Every structure is written in C-alpha cells, then in structure tokens.
Amino acid sequence: MGKVIAVSNQKGGVGKSTTVVNLAAVLGKMGKKVLIVDFDPQGNTTTSFAIKKSRIRNTIYEVITDECDLLESVTATEFTGVSVVPTTQDLSGAAVKLITQQNRAVRLRSKLDKAREFYDYVFIDCPPTLDMLTINALAAADSVLIPLQCEFLSLEGLVELSDTIKRVRQAYNPGLEVEGILFTMYVERYKLTGQVTGQVRKKFGKLVFDTVIPRNVAISEAPSYGEPVIYYDKKSKGAKAYEELAKEMLKRERKKKEKKKE
C-alpha cells in the first residue's frame, strides 16, 4: 500500500509546492510511482509541470465534489514515474461546499484509497491556510512534511501547524505522524539562519531533516520551464539537495520498518 504524505505549512511562500514537485520528481527517477494531488487552489504544482488545460480531464475539484473518481482525474507528466491530479481556482469553492456536507473533514481520505493500490507515494500539496481543505489533507495523510523557511515568522506558522496536527489527531486521524521538518531557502552565511535552525533543532530534534534546501537560482527558474529542478539542471545545488532529501526520507522509512520487526 502506498504512503500518503501531506506537505503543509500555514505560512505561504516557504517552498511547499517547490518541495512537492522536486521531491516527487527525484523519487520518480529512483523508480517509485508517485502521484501528486494539487490541493492548493493557487495551482502552483500544476503549473510547475506545465500541464496544459487541454490535457486536463478532471481536477481535484470534481473528485472532492463526487463528480468523478480520483483515478479519472490523473494526468500523466513527461517526467518518469510522476502523475498529477491537477487543480484550478474552482477548488476555492470546494472549501465552502464541504462545510454543509456530511463527513466533510474526511472526504479526501476515501478518495485516496484506490490511489494507494497503484502508487508508492501520494503527495498532497496543501493550501497555506487552515481551512476545510487543509483539514481534509491532514485527515487523509499518513504523515505531514513541513517545509520551513529560515526566518522567525516561520516559527509562528510552525507552532500553529503543530497545534492543528494535534487537533486533527484527536478528531480524525490518530495515526498522523510528522514525516519531518525541512529547512528551505537556506542561506548558511546569514546569522538569522543559524538562530532559527538552532531553535527548531533544539525543540524538535530528530523530526528535523539533516538535509537543507538552499536558496538556489535553478530551483527558482525551473518552474517557468515546466520542469522539476533535477531535469532543468541536474548538477545544480538545488537538484542535489532534493536528491539527498529523498535518500534521507527513504532511509528513515527503512529504519522505522526495521524497528517494527524487532
């Protein structure tokens, strides 16, 4: 059965969609079958894969409103092992519709059941807000990966998200784990970077990934070409960082499985 990972932070501009796109692309190149659910109405993940509207049969909006099955909305990409359930601005309306529906917080969970049979990983790109869409994503996920920019305002978002995760565990998804906290847009020479990373590592310990994602021109340029950075410039620091992140994530998973066997 595939693993569902929500990528979330209630603060925008922290590299959330960037992490979804690039981590998925690396895992795809490593032989994994990966599905991305673009659950952010801004649609940055959909745009980053240069998915043309003419190729879109259905979006996650049609899925969440019961107009089609999840697998009927999957769009293949040009990149090895990666498919996307795209989105449009219509998804903004789904959050309002969900308020009046039964089981409104767990509707996405049931939609993803079939996807687990066909994919090794399902990444949910969450909106940068605490609304019914984010609650659905966290309720559907096995774990949540938290990108964190190295600035003090990001720490506030981390505290808020931690509280949200606790509430979701209590109400809908007791098995929800933290996949890891990932530092993004990392600039080693900045004093602030060291202060923020030090505080977070002290408080959250092993939950923080050793790998950091640097502020990198190639990462910034790649979306405008509709390519993950590993395809746009595989020798860049950004591409190498996401390769290291994928390796670290897989290594963590292996260790967890070994502990369970003991």
pLDDT digits (tens, 9 = 90+) for 5-24: 999 987 777 889 999 999 99
Identity of the amino acid at 18:
T
For 95-109, the pLDDT digits (tens) are 777 777 778 889 999
For 214-244, the pLDDT digits (tens) are 999 999 999 999 999 999 999 999 999 999 9
Structure-block tokens of residue 59: 């979006």
Say what the pLDDT of residue 57 is.
84
Using alpha carbons only, how large is the chain's radius of gyration in Å? 17
Residue 140 has pLDDT above 90, yes or no: yes
Domains of the chain: 3-261 (3.40.50.300)
Say what the pLDDT of residue 47 is.
92
Closest CA to 29 of 66, 80, 68: 80
For 74-97, the pLDDT digits (tens) are 999 999 999 999 998 888 887 777
pLDDT band at 245, cuts 50/70/90? very high
Q: What is the pTM of this model?
A: 0.95
Q: What is the DSSP string of 188-234?
A: TT-HHHHHHHHHHHHHHGGGEEEEEEE--HHHHHGGGGT--HHHH-T
pLDDT band at 1, cuts 50/70/90? confident
Measure the CA–CA gap between 134 and 161, rounded to whole angstroms.
10
Say what the pLDDT of residue 191 is.
79
Cβ atoms of residues 18 and 145 within 8 Å: no
Question: Who has greater pLDDT, 131 or 121?
Answer: 121
For 146-170, the pLDDT digits (tens) are 999 888 777 777 888 899 999 999 9
For 25-67, the pLDDT digits (tens) are 999 999 999 999 999 999 999 999 998 877 788 999 999 988 9
pLDDT (mean) for 158-187: 93
Cβ atoms of residues 145 and 56 within 8 Å: no
